[in-house]
Amino acid sequence: MSWGSGSLLHESVASTLPHRAPLQISASRHERRWSIRGEEPFQGSCLIKGATDDLAQVARAARAWHDGQSLGDIRRAAPFVCLTGHFEVPDLDPVRLVESEWQSMLQEARELEYSWQEQYQALIEAAYAEPALRVLYPFTSHWALRFSTTTRPSLTLGSPCLTAGGDGTYGVGNGFITPDLGVFKTAPEAVALAVRHLPAGFGPVTLGLPLQPPS
């Protein structure tokens, strides 16, 4: 295993698997603590992360990442590692990328610690339960839920926008955040309206290719 050429506070460890970006390792400036982040390179989606004061565990996680061990085995080798819900899709199959994004979003919603966590979680789960939305690529901006017919890194706009209001209501809008289509007391009601307002022919999801710089 070879280490990168980082600074005293940052280092990276490459993987033998081409569908893994180098594992990023950062040291705290103010305490004996290290954090890691492991991504897949096409979308930049985080697969594993974590922080610990045990440098030996960092080394075990780095070795496992480099050697191509499964995400679950990396966590077993270094228990401080957190799995994000994203799973690896080496062949970049759009259907699998959609499911990976949903699983990460569902896990994130369940682990939030904000006062409105339960309401946001209800919105994500209601959207995932709807077959017409579950096959689309989900993404959020400022906690507003939207859907794309292409994966990252090049998302397609055009779907209704779902929001969880701080007052316990759920909004649906054509534009960003503004609930101009309706406000409801339950997440399933809002999701049902969003489905009815999906553009005709919105899907199936294809791979979102990187934008080419202007020549």
Q: Are 4 and 11 in contact (CB under 8 A)?
A: yes
Better-scored residue on pLDDT, 209 or 86: 86
Give the pLDDT band (50/70/90) at residue 211: low
With a cut of 70, say whether residue 153 has pLDDT above it.
Answer: yes
Lowest mean pLDDT among 54-63, 72-81, 137-146: 137-146
Give the pLDDT band (50/70/90) at residue 1: low
pLDDT in the model for residue 212: 62
With a cut of 50, say whether residue 5 has pLDDT above it.
Answer: no
Domain definitions of the chain by residue range: 10-83, 94-196
pLDDT in the model for residue 116: 77
pLDDT tens digits, 169-195: 999 999 777 888 999 999 999 999 999
pLDDT in the model for residue 166: 78
d(CA 130, CA 120): 16
The mean of the pLDDT values for the chain is 92
pLDDT tens digits, 87-97: 999 999 999 99
- As a whole number, mean pLDDT of residues 106-129 equals 92
With a cut of 60, say whether residue 22 has pLDDT above it.
Answer: yes
41 Cβ contact partners less than 8 Å away, ≥ 6 residues apart: 19, 20, 21
Q: Which two tokens stand for residue 155?
A: 């998302």
To 5 degrees, how large is the angle CA 81–CA 84–CA 86?
Answer: 125
Q: Give percent of the chain above pLDDT 70.
A: 94
- As a whole number, mean pLDDT of residues 43-56 equals 97
pLDDT in the model for residue 210: 80
**Could you tell me the sign of the dihedral formed by the alpha carbons of 104, 105, 110, 114, in that order?**
positive
d(CA 192, CA 56): 50
In this prediction the pTM is: 0.91
The 3-class secondary structure across the chain, one letter per residue, is CCECCCCCCEEEECCCCCCCCCEEEEECCCCCCEEEEEECCCCCCEEEEEEECCHHHHHHHHHHHHHCCCHHHHHHHCCCCEECCCCCCCCCCHHHHHHHHHHHHHHHHHHCCCCCHHHHHHHHHHHHHCHHHHCCEEEEECCEEEEECECCCCCCCCCCEEEECCCCCEEEECCCCCCCCEEECCHHHHHHHHHHCCCCCCCCCECCCCCCCCC
Q: Are 43 and 10 in contact (CB under 8 A)?
A: no
pLDDT in the model for residue 7: 58
